[in-house]
C-alpha cells in the first residue's frame, strides 16, 4: 500500500565536408577537363602543323595538361584536409561539451520518515533501499520475476518444503565485513524471532540454516509457492550481523550504493559503494533522491534542471514534456499499483448489503476516469494486476450500466429522491479530482457521497487501523498482495471462506500452474462479491531529461534499481 542530446556538430560538419569536397573535386575535374579540351584542340592543330613545321618556342601541350591535373588534385587534397581538420575539431568540441555527470538527481513523491526498513511500514523505503543499499537473497526484475541476487542459484525439493540457496563468493558489506551464509541465516531468523516488518509472510518457515559459508537451507512447515517472491522483498534482506548502527538514520548493506546523507521528508543522498562485490556496480558516483510531494513544485524542479528525473508525474502535467521531445522523454511503465475503492464489508455497515456494492460498481464509468487522468492507466476488474500470478481480465464482470445500478439501489430501498448517504475517505496526496468524479457518477443512482480528504496519517489511523469508514480510496501498490482479501481482519472486513480456502490451496501448490489457477479462481469470486471496486491499474508515467539513460520505467514505484542510471550533460 502506498501514498501513493545536443546536436552532434562533428557529424554534421563531417557530412558537410563530404558534400563540399565532392563539389570541389567535381569543379576541379571540370576545370581540368576544360583545360585539356582546349589544349587538345590546339595540340591537334599543332600536331598537324608540326608535321609540317614543328614549333620551337612556348610550353609543350603535354606540360600544360600535366599542370592542370596537378592543380586539380592539389585543390581536392587541400579542401579534403581542411574539412577533415574542421571535422576533427568539431568532434573534439562535441566530446568536450558532452560529459557524463557525477551526480543524477531524481524526484520522487513518497518520502520515508526514517530508514529503519525492519520496523517502518511504507513502500518508499523499499523503493529507494532494496537493491540499491540492501540486497536480498533473491531479487525481482522489471517483469516482476524472481532473479538471483546474493544467492546465485537455488534448488527446491519435490515436496516444496526445502529450498537450498547457493551463494555468490567473495561478497562484502559496505563497511568491508564479509557477507556469507551466517549473515543470511541470522537476518531471516532475526526477522522471524523479533517479528520485524513482513515477518508474517514467513509463517511457514520452520528453520533457516547456514550449511556452510556458501550455502543456506530454508525448511518449511508447509509448502509456500510464494516463498521465492517473498524473499525478494524485506523478508529476504541480508544485514551485517556484526555491525552496529542507527537503522533510522544510517544503513549498512551490500548493494551498489551507500546512504551518505538522509534528510527527513526532504532527500536521500546515495554514494557509490567502493566495496561493492557484484555485477551491478554503480555507473554514477552520486545519486540524490529528492522528495517532492507537491506536483507543481516537482514539475518546476524538472523544468529548472534541479532534478533530471521525475517519477511519477500525472498525465495532465506531463503534456508540455511530451511535446518537447528535444529535451525530455516521457514514458508510462507497467506496475502493480491498484487504485482500490474499498467498501466497509463489516456486518452492520452501510455497505454490508451486496446490492449496494454491486450498484456502485455498475455506476462507475472507468473509461471516463482513466481518460480524465490522461489515458495511461488500465482498467482493472479485480484484485490481481497483470504482472502478478493468477491475473485474469475481469473487467467484463461489472460493465458501466447506470440502469442496472439504479435497479439494484431501488431493490435496496434507495433512489435519487431517497439517497443513501455515504462518506468517501482518502488521503490528500491523491488530489480532489477522483472524489469529485465519484460523487458525480454515483449521485444519479441514489448515493449522496460526501468526500472527506484527509492527511495520510489520519487515513492510517481512522481507516486502516480503526476501520472507521464507509468507502476508502488508496493506491495498493504491493505486488502479490492478494492475501489481504483472504484476511477478514484486514481493514476491508471482507470474510469469504471459499476465497480463503482457494488462496490457501494456491499458496500450498507445488507448481506455478496450480498456484495461478487457484489464485485466479479466488480473485474471480472476490470480484463477483464486490467488496471493492478497482478503479484502475495505475501505470507510472516518468519524465527523464535528455541525456538520462538506464532509469527503469516499469515498476519504479516499488523496485527502483539505480546502478545503471547515467546523465550526459
Query: Whole-prediction pTM value?
Result: 0.74
Q: What is the mean pLDDT of residues 107-125?
A: 93
Cis status, amide bond into 518, omega within 30 of 0: no
425-450, pLDDT tens digit by residue? 999 989 899 999 999 999 999 999 99
> What is the distance between the alpha carbons of residues 556 and 336, in angstroms, rounded to a whole number?
10
CB atoms within 10 A of CB 455: 11
| Consecutive H or E run containing 64 | helix 61-97
Residues near 334 by beta carbon (within 8 Å), at least 6 away in sequence: 386, 387, 539, 554, 555
Identify the band that residue 97 occupies on the pLDDT scale cut at 50, 70 and 90.
low
The confidence score (pLDDT) of residue 122 equals 84
All domains of the chain, ordered by start, with CATH?
99-133+255-327+546-568 (3.40.190.10), 135-236 (3.90.76.10), 335-539 (3.10.105.10)
pLDDT value for 513: 94
Across the range 382-396, mean pLDDT stands at 96
Q: Report the alpha-carbon distance of residue 110 to residue 286 in Å, rounded.
A: 20
Query: What is the reported pLDDT for 538?
Result: 92
Per-residue pLDDT of 288-342, as tens digits, reads: 999 998 999 999 999 999 999 999 998 889 999 999 999 999 999 999 999 999 9
> Is the confidence at residue 3, as pLDDT, over 50?
no
Tens digits of residue pLDDT in 209-252: 999 999 999 999 999 999 999 999 999 999 999 999 999 999 99
Q: What is the mean pLDDT of residues 116-134?
A: 95
Sign of the C-alpha dihedral, residues 367, 369, 372, 375?
A: negative
Query: How confident is the model at residue 455, as a pLDDT?
Result: 95
Pick the closest to residue 326 from 92, 493, 545 (CA basis).
Answer: 545
- Average pLDDT score over the chain: 86
- Does residue 487 carry a pLDDT above 80? yes
CA distance 9 to 14: 8
Percent of the chain with pLDDT over 90: 79
- pLDDT at residue 38 greater than cutoff 70: no
Question: Residue 58 above 50 pLDDT?
Answer: no
Instruction: Report residue 167 CA to chain centroid gap.
Output: 27
- Neighbouring CB atoms inside 10 A of 482's CB total 24
Report whether pLDDT(7) > 80. Answer: no
The predicted-structure confidence for 344-388, as pLDDT tens digits, reads as follows 999 999 999 999 999 999 999 999 999 999 899 999 999 999 999
pLDDT of residue 393: 97
What Å distances lie between residue 428 and 294, 431, 451, 456, 464, CA to CA? 11, 5, 11, 7, 15
CB 185 within 8 A of CB 210: yes
Q: Which residue has the higher pLDDT, 4 or 323?
A: 323
- Outline where DSSP puts E strands in 441-505: 447-454, 471-476
- Helix H, strand E, coil C: the string for 370-407 is HHHCCCCCECCCCCCCCCCCCCCCCCCCCCCCHHHHHH
Amino acid at each position: 500500500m502506498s501514498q501513493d542530446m545536443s546536436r552532434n556538430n562533428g557529424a554534421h560538419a563531417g557530412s558537410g565536408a563530404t558534400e563540399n569536397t565532392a563539389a570541389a573535386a567535381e569543379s576541379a575535374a571540370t576545370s581540368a577537363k576544360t583545360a585539356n579540351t582546349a589544349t587538345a584542340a590546339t595540340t591537334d592543330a599543332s600536331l598537324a602543323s608540326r608535321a609540317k613545321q614543328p614549333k620551337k618556342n612556348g610550353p609543350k601541350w603535354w606540360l600544360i595538361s600535366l599542370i592542370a591535373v596537378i592543380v586539380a588534385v592539389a585543390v581536392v587534397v587541400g579542401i579534403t584536409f581542411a574539412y577533415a581538420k574542421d571535422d576533427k575539431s568539431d568532434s573534439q568540441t562535441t566530446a568536450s561539451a558532452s560529459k557524463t555527470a557525477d551526480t543524477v538527481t531524481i524526484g520522487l513523491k513518497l518520502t520515508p520518515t526514517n530508514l529503519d526498513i525492519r520496523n517502518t511500514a511504507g513502500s518508499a523505503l523499499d523503493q529507494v533501499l532494496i537493491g540499491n543499499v540492501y540486497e536480498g537473497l533473491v531479487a525481482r526484475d522489471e517483469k516482476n520475476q524472481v532473479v538471483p541476487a546474493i544467492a546465485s542459484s537455488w534448488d527446491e525439493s519435490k515436496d516444496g518444503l526445502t529450498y537450498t540457496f547457493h551463494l555468490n563468493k567473495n561478497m562484502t558489506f559496505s563497511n568491508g565485513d564479509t557477507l556469507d551464509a551466517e549473515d543470511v541465516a541470522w537476518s531471516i531468523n532475526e526477522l522471524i524471532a523479533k517479528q520485524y516488518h513482513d515477518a508474517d509472510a514467513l509463517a511457514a518457515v520452520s528453520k533457516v540454516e547456514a550449511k556452510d559459508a556458501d550455502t543456506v537451507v530454508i525448511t518449511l512447515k508447509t509448502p509456500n509457492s510464494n516463498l521465492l517472491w517473498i524473499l525478494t522483498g524485506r523478508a529476504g534482506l541480508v544485514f551485517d550481523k556484526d555491525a552496529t548502527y542507527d537503522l533510522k538514520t544510517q544503513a549498512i548493506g551490500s548493494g551498489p550504493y551507500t546512504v551518505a546523507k538522509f534528510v527527513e521528508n526532504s532527500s536521500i543522498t546515495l554514494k557509490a559503494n567502493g566495496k561493492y562485490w557484484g555485477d551491478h556496480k554503480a555507473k554514477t558516483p552520486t545519486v540524490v533522491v529528492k522528495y517532492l510531494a507537491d506536483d507543481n513544485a516537482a514539475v518546476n524542479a524538472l523544468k529548472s534542471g534541479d532534478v533530471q528525473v521525475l517519477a511519477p508525474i500525472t498525465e495532465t502535467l506531463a503534456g508540455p514534456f511530451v511535446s518537447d521531445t528535444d529535451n525530455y522523454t516521457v514514458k508510462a511503465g507497467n506496475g502493480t499499483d491498484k487504485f482500490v475503492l474499498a467498501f466497509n464489508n463489516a456486518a452492520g455497515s452501510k455497505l454490508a448489503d451486496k446490492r449496494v456494492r454491486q450498484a456502485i460498481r455498475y455506476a462507475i464509468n472507468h473509461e471516463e476516469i482513466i481518460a480524465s487522468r490522461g489515458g495511461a492507466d488500465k482498467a482493472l476488474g479485480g484484485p490481481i494486476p497483470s504482472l502478478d500470478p493468477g491475473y485474469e481480465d475481469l473487467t467484463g464482470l461489472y460493465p458501466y450500466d447506470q440502469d442496472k445500478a439504479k435497479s439494484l439501489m431501488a431493490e435496496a430501498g434507495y433512489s435519487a429522491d431517497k439517497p443513501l448517504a455515504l462518506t468517501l475517505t482518502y488521503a490528500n496526496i491523491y488530489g480532489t479530482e477522483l472524489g469529485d468524479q465519484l460523487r458525480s457518477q454515483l449521485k444519479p443512482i441514489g448515493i449522496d457521497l460526501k468526500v472527506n480528504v484527509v492527511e495520510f496519517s489520519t487515513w492510517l489511523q481512522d481507516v486502516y487501523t480503526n476501520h472507521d469508514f464507509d468507502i476508502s480510496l488508496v493506491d495498493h501498490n504491493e505486488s502479490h498482495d492478494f492475501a489481504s482479501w483472504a484476511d477478514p481482519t484486514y481493514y476491508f472486513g471482507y470474510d469469504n471462506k471459499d476465497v480463503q480456502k482457494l488462496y490457501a490451496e494456491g499458496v500450498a501448490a507445488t507448481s506455478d500452474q496450480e498456484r495461478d489457477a487457484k489464485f485466479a479462481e479466488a480473485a474471480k469470486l472476490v470480484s463477483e462479491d464486490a467488496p471493492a471496486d478497482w478503479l484502475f491499474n495505475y501505470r507510472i508515467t516518468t519524465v527523464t531529461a535528455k541525456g538520462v539513460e538506464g532509469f527503469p520505467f516499469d515498476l519504479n514505484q516499488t523496485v527502483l534499481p539505480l546502478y545503471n542510471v547515467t546523465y550526459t550533460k
